[in-house]
Chains A and B, each alone.
Chain A
Amino acid sequence: MTELETLATIKCKQQVVRAVRFNVDGVYCLTCGADKKINLWNPNRQILLKTYGGHANEVLDAAGSCDSSHIISGSADKSVILWDVTTGQPIRRYRGHASSVTCIKFNEESSMAVSGSIDNTVAFWDVISRRQEPVQVLKDAKDTITSIQVTDHEVLTTSVDCHVRLYDIRMGKMVSDYIGHIVTFGSLTRDGQCYILSCADSTIKLFDKDSGEILNTFVGHESKDYLLENAVNATDSHIVSGSATGEIFYYDLISSICVKKYLHSKNRPVVSITHHPTDNSFISACEDEIKLWGIKEMEE
């Protein structure tokens, strides 16, 4: 595999970056700060494009819509806000959750937002209509929802109650897998066949979606008490994970070997990671700083 280098380092000045997310085409990225604001960056040129302020507490997660015209964000102020990207104004504010909203995603068409919260619920928000109540609330989890992934017909939720739940909207089925450890983050591989779960026991577990069997376990990083995130690269060949040690672990998906370690900043936890949807680059967030890792172009 090719070596990745730090292409850019951005000091976000947001106290702590809770989450960093690429937009749909990977040109821009969003950083959710503990300063209650969301920043929109062009990471390649290191330009701050816009700041979205309006949350009353730390922003914990955000997602851009498929046409990059809207941003949905969840915050510790229990609200979900739909933003207009260009004007920076909040279009809608949903207050259905009883506690902090920890994770949020758009569906494929960005017609619906799915949010998970500390109140153990997952809520579906209709962003098309003016409806203020959630369309549906999933109350299966018995503890905090840590992450959500949405595909064209599935919703994957991970929870602190050691379960992963896959809601199949097409089939009308819910598959819950008991993992035995707190699942801090769950992501789906690009082919949609496996899910990658970051567990609180400092492992990443690769599960087969259909059978629920474990395929691989990735060990090496350290999770401590952080809700570490993981990401899978564009070709489904490698898994990227942050670590409490300040390193970024690059695992081979098949052999489960740590191929490469990148140091973001020593002994500072790298919690949030987002991978470029197509290129071989990713962004890691560590405290106030985000770093873009990728292959340097030859021209430079």
Chain B
Amino acid sequence: MSGSDSDDENVIRYGTPLEPYEEDELPTKRKFQEQADQFAVDANGRRRFHGAFTGGFSAGFGNTVGSMEGWTPSTFKSSRSEKAQVSNRRPEDFMDEEDRSEFGIAPRLLQTHNEFSGQKRPRQRTYYDGPIPGEPVLQQLVRAVHETAAVKMLRAMGWREGQGTGERLSKSQKKMAKKQHKVYGCYMPEELKQDRPESEEDSSSSSEYDFDTLFAPDDYEPYILNRKDDRFGLGYSALSRHSVLGNLTGEYGSEAGSSKSHLNMRDKGRKVSIRGQAFGVGAFEADDEDIYGTEDMSHYDFAIGGPSPVNEKKQNKDTSKNVLPGFVKAVKPVPSVPAHPPPALPRDYVPSAAGARRSRFEPTTHKERDQGLGRHELTAEARGTLLGETPIKPFPDPPMETQTPPQKEDLTKILCRNINFTTTAEKKELDFISIADTGKEVQKVFRPFAGNMEKQARYEKYLEDRGSTKEGDNSTDKLSQWERERELVEFEQAAKLYRPLSGIMGDRFTHASEPDDALNPLTAVAKSSSNHGLATKEQMDAAQRGVYGVMTRLQTEWRPESLVSKRFNLPQVGGVRLEQQKEDKPKVSYSIFSYLESSVHDKDSFAREQSKFSGSKSMSINTSKVDQTKTVDRNLNTENKTSDLNVDQSKRVDHTQTVAGFTKRMTVAEMFLKESEENKKQGVEVTETINKFDKMDLYKSIFLSDSEDEPLEAKQQTSDKTDFIDVPKNIERNNSPPRGIFANINFDELNSWKRKDDKPVTNPSNAIDIKKSETKDSSLEEEMYGPKIPENIKKRLLSEGSSSNVKESIEVGSSSSEDSWVDVNELKSKKTKKKKSKKHKSKHKKKSKSKKKDR
């Protein structure tokens, strides 16, 4: 270690030493660290290239425009204080610095202005339509002479045309220069030059002027361009044996003859070799070995010393035989100039002198060319035949039944490929889908099985008697059972899918009564004549007669918000109760169920009920309930007025229903409507005051939905029990409410009946009664949730089974308990009815029943 200093002085170190290990330390496993990616950077050290998939070059990245991320779109900002500046965006604003540099996409160079470039092209002139057609003669004669500024300057400096520029030279110097002159292209061979007789002239003249005369240098010999005889791009020479780097790979020496590079030449010991690179190899690669060079045998086809000069001379002599002195006979024949035929003139082109047409209003001799090259002259059939289509038979107006089956098949196939919706027969029938009607119209509007007429017919049939129980048409008999079932499923699906808006959704929409001119606000709108159901007929009458006052006035409760009262400096109406009311208010939920239920428990139906009970206890209930049912209460007054109108409406609905009959399957909404209808009728009958109408029932009638009838029923059952308390009962009997299939059987009633008879149940009719009541129950149950029972069956059930049963039960009822008897029929008919009807007196029941029979 002592000699380390001296070692340092003597030893030359290369590279960086490894870090010495500590004794105890384990060599840490270092990650292999990749050499940092090499990036081509521009002058500012920013990355120049990006992957092709990220935009190539510098597009959008690391550029100078805007922010670090590149160009950012500017936002339009204009405020009252700072108005937006009108900004003229130039393309340069979106470009990088590099783009504007020499190699960028938009290089900025100092260029001679067009005016001074001397490369002015004669502008395309438009000639006036004067009396003499064509270019004005005067203009042809007089032409502005244009000289570039440089020429002018050169002239001023003593330059003459045909001379070269530069310092003046003496004769000998000029000669020298001529000799050393680089010549591109065709070059006069040395031998010929020597042969030229003018050489003496030169020498003689030189003696004359040699001393003091200076000559202008020779003009620059223009580069003679070769004729382009290939089809490559301009300036491009196709891949040849010569490599891209310009040299032959196997180039040998610097012998003049051996070099095969076409741009290599030798001139008096001075080698002129034009060589270079075509495309760059890469940003990083230096001049590399010629990787694109190809080995070729020709590269090895040489002899040291080049071709023999004797041969050459011979050749020259041979060729110069019958050739003018100074010329060489061409070795290669002159390539023939490809002849391009002039473009074919249009068919009906009439040559005319330019500007021959004096005015545009002059009638033209040639008629206008038809647009589509005569295609439009053809009819659709003609085109079809040209295209080899089989002509489609025109649709006859009579329905398709007249056609023969195979044709029908064809037609329907064509139809269902294109338009499924309407066939020609129904075209004029409907231009919209009627909302109100359901099932029946479906078949007319849509034919999902148009491809198969029989099937379509079956489908229509299916739609017609959907709901009705009968099955097995004659047409379906042809099919097997399995097929039929399968088809039925299919039909069901189709009917479900291709149904117009109906039922629940249907009544939410209506046809526009006025044309929808939303785009044109200036169209006159008809004055609103409808009163939006606000004014009743009486009100309108009164207003018409000018009797304003009590009739037209309507007072309702209105509760201003506390803040409103506060801001108006007024005491708050209702005080603290308002807050409570606010909390009680149920949150509005837009669910389909609320909509469905609303048809049953909607405001006006409730209002109607309410009006029927008015004057009795219900009023007092009302006042006490005001807090909870405020919203309903508020509506009540207004709805009372409109109720008459509603009744009319609903009657109409009822009427249409009966007309339609029960063959049609009813939608849910219709069912509810009907139900509420019946409710109302029931309500009409109930005119007397009801003592047992307690608060709870009112509450329930408002707030409980139909689906919650199970507990109600149970409750009813128990209440029934209490009503039957005077009737002797089997104490050992299970007191729990009956479940399952016994749920709807009133055992108490049965028992009481049994006891009255004092006989065991041997009477078959009784058993039947029970059975019937059961079946009826189930059928009614079905009415709620399943398909509608056909009218005739329902009637039969009513007349045969239940009526006799009911009669008996009524008798029993009158004997056992007078005022609080629950009719079996009532109990089973409708749930909402139950709530009220159980308090009804028997005579009302009779009334209602008779009415039912009337229906």
Contacts and interface: CB of A to CB of B under 8 A. Distances in A.
Chains A and B come from one and the same complex: yes
Contacts of B558: 138, 140, 167-168, 172-174
Contacts of B568: 107-109, 112, 152-153, 169
A172 B558 CA distance: 5
B615 interface: no
Interface stretch (A91-99, A210-218, A279-287): A210-218
Contacts, number: 124
Given A136-B560, A169-B564, A161 B549 contact: no
Given A112-B564, A169-B560, 12 more contacts: A107-B568, A126-B563, A161-B531, A161-B532, A168-B558, A173-B558, A174-B555, A175-B554, A177-B552, A179-B548, A180-B544, A182-B528
A135 B564 contact: yes
A29 to B, nearest CB: 24
A85 B208 CA distance: 104
B77 interface: no
A200 B527 contact: yes
A237 B205 CA distance: 129
23 contacts: A89-B80, A108-B568, A126-B567, A136-B561, A140-B558, A142-B534, A170-B570, A172-B557, A172-B558, A172-B574, A173-B555, A173-B557, A176-B553, A177-B553, A177-B554, A178-B534, A178-B552, A200-B527, A211-B553, A212-B548, A212-B549, A212-B552, A213-B548
A266 B279 CA distance: 85
Nearest to A89: B80
Interface of A: 53-54, 89, 107-109, 111-112, 124, 126, 128, 135-136, 138, 140, 142-143, 152-153, 160-163, 167-182, 200, 207, 211-214, 217
Contacts of A174: 555-558
Interface stretch (B125-133, B535-543, B795-803): B535-543
B532 A213 contact: no
The 9 closest A-B pairs by CB, nearest first: A180-B543, A172-B573, A174-B558, A142-B532, A212-B553, A213-B549, A112-B567, A178-B552, A136-B561
Contact of A178 (B533, B543, B557, B564): B543
A117 to B, nearest CB: 16
B539 A178 contact: yes
A108 B564 CA distance: 12
Contacts of B253: none
Contacts of B542: 178
Contacts of A214: 546, 548-549
Contacts of A180: 535, 539-540, 543-544, 552
A167 B532 contact: no
A136 B554 contact: no
A175 B555 contact: yes
Given A178-B535, A182-B528, A170 B548 contact: no
B556 A163 contact: no
Contacts of A178: 531, 534-535, 539-540, 542-543, 552-554
B60 to A, nearest CB: 36
A214 B569 CA distance: 31
B548 A173 contact: no
A26 B542 CA distance: 40
Given A180-B544, A182-B528, A212-B549, A107 B557 contact: no
A142 B571 CA distance: 29
Contacts of A108: 568
Interface in B311-330: none
A111 B560 CA distance: 15
The residue in B549, B553, B574 that gathers the most chain A C-beta atoms within 10 A of its C-beta is B553
B527 A182 contact: yes
A170 B571 contact: yes
Contacts of B794: none
A124 B570 CA distance: 15
A124 B531 contact: no
B383 to A, nearest CB: 54
A137 to B, nearest CB: 9
B567 A111 contact: yes
A172 B560 contact: yes
Nearest to A174: B558
Contacts of B573: 169-172
Interface string B561-587: 101110111110110000000000000
B559 interface: yes
Nearest to A217: B546
A173 B567 CA distance: 17
A155 B531 CA distance: 22
B303 interface: no
Contacts of B574: 172
Contacts of B559: 172
A175 B553 contact: yes
Given A126-B567, A180-B544, A163 B534 contact: yes
A64 B574 CA distance: 32
B36 interface: no
Which among A54, A108, A112, A178 has the greatest number of chain B C-beta atoms within 10 A?
A178
B550 interface: yes
Given A178-B539, A212-B550, A212-B553, A162 B565 contact: no
Contacts of A163: 534-535
A171 B573 CA distance: 7
A89 B554 CA distance: 43
A135 B563 contact: yes
A142 B642 CA distance: 15
Contacts of B553: 175-178, 211-212
A107 B565 CA distance: 11
Contacts of A170: 570-571, 573
A176 B554 contact: yes
B521 to A, nearest CB: 10
B641 to A, nearest CB: 11
Nearest to A142: B532
Contacts of A169: 560, 564-565, 568, 570, 573
B532 A143 contact: yes
